Amino acid sequence: MAVVDVDAELAVLFHETAGVSVPAYERVKKLVAEQIRSGRWSEGDQLPSENQFVDAFGLSRMTINRALRELTSDGLIVRMMGVGTFVARTKTASPLFEVKNIADEIQQRGHRHRTEVVFVREEETDHSQSFLRDGVGSRVFHSLLVHYEDDIPIQVEDRFVNPAQAPEYLDQDFTALTPNDYLTRVAPLVRGEHVVEAVSASPQECHLLRIDRSEPCLLIRRRTWSDHGLVSAARLIHPGTRSRLEGEFSR
C-alpha cells in the first residue's frame, strides 16, 4: 500500500478543465476515477486528505467532500473514519448458501485475516429475542468481534452461543481461531438458517467498521444447529461498499 499525492501534474490536469461547463465536484470525481482506472493509483493506496485536495485544486472543502462521497457510493474508494481514504479493493464476496470460515475466505483471496475481540462474556438469556428461544437455558455466551481483511474491517460478528453445546467457548483465543472454526469442531453443523437484510448499522457498529452513519450495510442473520440442538445465533454485518453476497443453485 502506498500513500499517493496530489502532484503538480495532477493539479495542472485539473486546472486545464476549468473552462468546461461541468460542476467542480464532477471534475474532481472524473480526475480521481481516471487515476484509479488507469492503475496509477492501485487497490489499497491511501488518497490525499481533503485538505490536500483543497490546497491543490483551490476548491472548497464542501466540494471535495461531495466528490469523495460520490466516489465512495460508486465503489471506487473506501473512507475509514479517523484513518483515511483508500482506493477500494474489488468487493469481497461472501457465500450466501454456505457457512464458511471467514479467515479461510480471506486467505484464499491472498489477503491477511485478523480479528479484533471487543468482548466475550456470559450473560442472562433474553428470551424475548426470538432467535434464542430454541432450547437455550438461562445463561448464554455472547461475543462481539471485528474481522479485518488486511487493515480494513469487513465484518462485525455479533454472536450468541448455547453453553450446552460449547461449554468452553469463553476460554478460546479468538485472535488465533474464529468462532466458526471452533464451533464446527465441538458441535458439527447439521442445519443452518440464513436471513439477509439491508440495514443501517448502529453507532457502535459504524465505529467498529469505520464507516459513516449513512453507509448502507448487509446483515446476515444466521442460526446453526447440531444433532443436539441450537448451537449459535449470529448477526454478521458487512459494509455495503466493501462486500457482496453470491451463491449458486441448481435443480
51-97 pLDDT tens trace:
888 888 888 999 999 998 888 877 788 888 778 888 887 665 555 44
Q: Is 149 helix (H, G, I), strand (E, B) or coil?
A: strand
Which of 10-14, 112-116, 128-132 is predicted with the least confidence, judged by mean pLDDT? 128-132
Top-ranked range on mean pLDDT: pick from 3-7, 225-229, 238-242, 245-249? 225-229
Q: CA dihedral in degrees (63, 65, 71, 76; nearest 10)? A: 130
Residue from 231, 232, 203, 233 nearest 217 by CA: 203
- What is the torsional sign of CA 166, 168, 172, 177? negative
pLDDT at 168 over 90: yes
Per-residue model confidence (pLDDT) at position 131: 63
Per-residue model confidence (pLDDT) at position 7: 67
Which amino acid, one-letter code, is at 149?
E
Is 66 a domain residue?
yes
pLDDT at 48 over 90: no
Of the three residues 87, 121, 149, the one that is the final residue of a domain is 87
Which of 76-85, 131-140, 174-183 is predicted with the least confidence, judged by mean pLDDT? 131-140
Question: What's the rounded mean pLDDT across residues 106-131?
Answer: 85
Within this chain, do residues 100 and 39 fall inside the same structural domain, yes or no?
no
Measure CA 210 to chain center: 9
State how far the Cα of 9 lies from the Cα of 14, in Å rounded to an integer: 9
Within this chain, do residues 74 and 106 fall inside the same structural domain, yes or no?
no
Query: How many domains, the chain?
Result: 2
pLDDT at 98 over 90: no
Per-residue model confidence (pLDDT) at position 207: 93
Burial bucket for residue 11 (CB in 10 Å: 0-12, 13-18, 19+) = middle
First-to-last alpha carbon distance for the chain, in angstroms, is: 44
Within this chain, do residues 171 and 221 fall inside the same structural domain, yes or no?
yes
Q: Is 202 helix (H, G, I), strand (E, B) or coil?
A: coil
pTM attached to this predicted model: 0.64
Within this chain, do residues 72 and 161 fall inside the same structural domain, yes or no?
no
pLDDT at 45 over 90: no
pLDDT at 178 over 90: yes
- Interval 182-236: pLDDT, tens: 999 999 888 888 888 889 999 999 999 988 888 889 898 988 999 888 899 999 9
Measure CA 77 to chain center: 13
pLDDT at 6 over 80: no
Residue from 71, 76, 33, 68 nearest 52 by CA: 68
| Spatial contact of 82 and 39, defined as CB atoms under 8 Å apart | no
Within this chain, do residues 121 and 18 fall inside the same structural domain, yes or no?
no
- What CATH number does the domain containing 241 carry? 3.40.1410.10
pLDDT at 122 over 90: yes
**175 falls in which pLDDT band (50, 70, 90)?**
very high
**171 falls in which pLDDT band (50, 70, 90)?**
very high
Measure CA 215 to chain center: 11
Share of the chain above pLDDT 90, in %: 30
Range of the domain at 185: 92-246
Across the chain, mean pLDDT equals 84
Q: Is 94 helix (H, G, I), strand (E, B) or coil?
A: strand
Rg of the Cα atoms in the chain: 22
Of the three residues 33, 57, 87, the one that is the final residue of a domain is 87
Q: Which three cell numbers stand for residue 232?
A: 449459535
pLDDT at 106 over 80: yes
Within this chain, do residues 103 and 209 fall inside the same structural domain, yes or no?
yes
Q: Is 6 helix (H, G, I), strand (E, B) or coil?
A: coil
Within this chain, do residues 38 and 110 fall inside the same structural domain, yes or no?
no
